[in-house]
Amino acid sequence: MKVIVARTAGFCKGVKDALEVTLEAIQKREDGKRIYTFGPLIHNRQVLSMLEEKGVREEHRIENCAGKKVVIRAHGIPPHERQALHGIGAELLDATCKRVARVHAAIKSHARQGFHTVIVGDEDHAEVIGLMGYTEGRGAVINRPEQVEDLPPDLEKVLLVAQTTQNEETFQEIRDRFLRRYPHGVVKNTICDSTQERQTEVRRICGLVEAMVIVGGSHSGNTMRLADVARECSIPTYHVETEADLDRQELSRYACVGVSAGASTPNWIIWNVVRFLEAIQPKHAGVQFRVKRFLEQLSYANIYVALAAAFLPPIAEALGAFRADLNDSIVAASYAFAMHSLNIYLDRDAIRLNDPGRAAFYQQWKYLFTGLGILAMAVSLWAASGSGILNLVVLTVMVVLGLLYAVPLILPVSIQVLNLKIKDIPTSKTFSVPVAWACVSVLVPRLAETKGGVGAFLFSFWVIFLLVLVRTILLDLLAVQGDRLGGKETLVVSVGETKTVRIAVGILFVFVLSLVVGPLVGLSGFFSLMLVPAAILYCWHLVVCVRKHFKESPIFEASIEFVLIGSGILALFWNACWRG
């Protein structure tokens, strides 16, 4: 089945910010202390369940929040509840969506001037309850155009606003009737831009598909309105929370289905639904489907990872660091495969969230991959020993550090015991991977081969490090949601997506500058200039990561690895032509 995924599907900025506030509180909390959210943080049961596993508890009674650290939900709360929480000594962390906060401010400002407020929304929705709290008792809630006629006819000062997740077309119909009834009324379209974009995109996609699947919480207002928009387009519409709510037999009637999702729906749930739908294939598409699945499984099996690492020693040779041979590539490939395969089972949370299909694949072949990982580790050490005892010792240290990456280390700190993982160190994954790959592909072979000078060796190490660093940052950008909730400390989790993209651009600039300067100062041959296309390809991948909101894909991930593989193939040809 062909699946068209809405670009706007998934977390909106307000939900992202609310999660950031909560996750930061989790990281900074004192041991054993719970964090509370006053009401559900967002309308998504799966995310709330993940937060509950991390010690975040949902509370609805103000008196139970006394002296506690309390996160104000993304939908906001009425001012009297906020004052009551302050009054009992609760430490408040405000995760109210900034868009919602602006509506609060607009209502509050007009209420002080004596305005009545009419809110277009759902009366029992948390956001609307919060908005009503700012009307000073002069507020009304409607959600149908005909309800305008039920409003008092003699209102001189009256303001019309909307719940931020309202249907745009419904609001415009109400607006027209409102202005006919109250010519001097004030209208503020407070529907969030993100909501409008989602609804517009759903209407566009509905013209391209045979059915529409809307993913999100059953109590999520903005998700329900997306489903309403799709139904208005007169195509079969399915509102589901997860792929478990879909009927494979019923959906097999369609050849092309669209997918969008509410603002509180995480990407890993959308990805689950998309993979479920893609697995429903018409018979005539069977070969194409099997090829795609085969390529995906190569990615899951870390074959592309191993190939990428295998081609790094030829790149180092082409840069002038040493003379590489097949043994060096075997060491690098086996090491990378072993570390990636074995650490999967030591740190499963983020993988389960970022790509459930990959997680299911690893669970299905758990014992095989564990065995292959151990075998690859042994092959790597055996191959390194053939080059000398020093090579074996260095690689053994690297293997031990790699295996300890996600294992708790019990360290005594004064009278307490610190349970620490290397992965818990900020940005540890982002920088440890390129350092390890540069060591195994440049340092370890260099210990046995001294063809090039020290300058050429350091330059090659630096170039390989930057090559792998950008590759790792791109993969981190793909996995950011799962990494946040899974607790993995990557650069993007530590500084945010926007800053990470800027850092990546800066690294690419330094990378290209290094490639140009290397031959000029005699640190490498002209092969370094042939790596400039790798920087260009990385730039393209970075643009895709920024612009394409729903981007987890094993095929896209493989294309990132092929930047290294392609550069390595180029290096092999260079070495064959110039090796003397």
What pLDDT digit, counting tens, does each position of 171-223 carry?
A: 999 999 999 999 999 999 999 888 888 889 999 999 889 999 999 888 888 88
How many residues are present in the chain?
A: 580
pLDDT-derived band at 418 (thresholds 50, 70, 90) equals: very low
Higher-confidence residue of 220 and 363: namely: 220
3-state secondary structure of 212: strand
pLDDT-derived band at 416 (thresholds 50, 70, 90) equals: very low
Q: At what angle do helices 326-344 and 366-385 cross, to 10 degrees?
A: 150
pLDDT at 481 over 60: no
pLDDT at 308 over 90: yes
pLDDT at 470 over 60: yes
Q: What is the mean pLDDT of residues 448-462?
A: 79
DSSP string, 488-547: ---HHHHH-HHHHHHHHHHHHHHHHHHHHHHHHTTSS-GGGGGGHHHHHHHHHHHHHHHH
pLDDT at 349: 54
pLDDT at 453: 75
pLDDT at 239: 94
Whole-number percent of the chain with pLDDT over 90: 41
528-534-538-541 Cα dihedral, nearest 10 degrees: 180
Question: What is the DSSP code (8-state) at residue 443?
Answer: I
pLDDT tens for residues 393-412? 999 998 888 877 666 555 44
Question: What is the DSSP code (8-state) at residue 29?
Answer: S
pLDDT at 288: 62
C-alpha span between 125 and 76 (Å, rounded): 11
pLDDT at 367 over 60: yes
pTM of the model: 0.66
User: For the chain, how long is the longest CA-to-CA vector?
Assistant: 95
Q: What is the mean pLDDT of residues 425-431?
A: 74
C-alpha span between 398 and 338 (Å, rounded): 12
Q: Could you tell me how far CA 2 lies from the centroid of its own chain?
A: 23
Mean pLDDT (the chain, rounded): 84
pLDDT at 361: 72
pLDDT at 366: 79
Instruction: Tell the burial category of 64 from Cβ atoms under 10 Å away from its Cβ (0-12, 13-18, 19+).
Output: middle
Residue with tokens 């940052």: 473
pLDDT at 415 over 90: no
Q: Which residues pair with 213 in a beta bridge?
A: 238, 259
Q: Could you tell me how far CA 151 lies from the centroid of its own chain?
A: 45
pLDDT-derived band at 297 (thresholds 50, 70, 90) equals: confident
C-alpha span between 279 and 268 (Å, rounded): 16
Cα angle, residue 216 at apex, residues 213 and 281 outer, rounded to 5°: 30
C-alpha span between 476 and 368 (Å, rounded): 26
Instruction: Tell the burial category of 34 from Cβ atoms under 10 Å away from its Cβ (0-12, 13-18, 19+).
Output: exposed
Nearest to 563 by CA among 473, 486, 487, 488: 473
Residue with tokens 């001012």: 79
**Sheet (strand 211-215) strand order:** 2-5, 256-261, 211-215, 237-240
pLDDT-derived band at 53 (thresholds 50, 70, 90) equals: confident
Q: Could you tell me how far CA 308 lies from the centroid of its own chain?
A: 23
pLDDT tens for residues 378-390? 999 999 888 889 8
pLDDT at 295: 75
C-alpha span between 383 and 399 (Å, rounded): 14
pLDDT at 143 over 80: yes
Q: Which residue among 63, 127, 149, 156 is the active-site one?
A: 127
pLDDT at 276: 84
Q: Does the annotation count 127 as an active-site position? A: yes
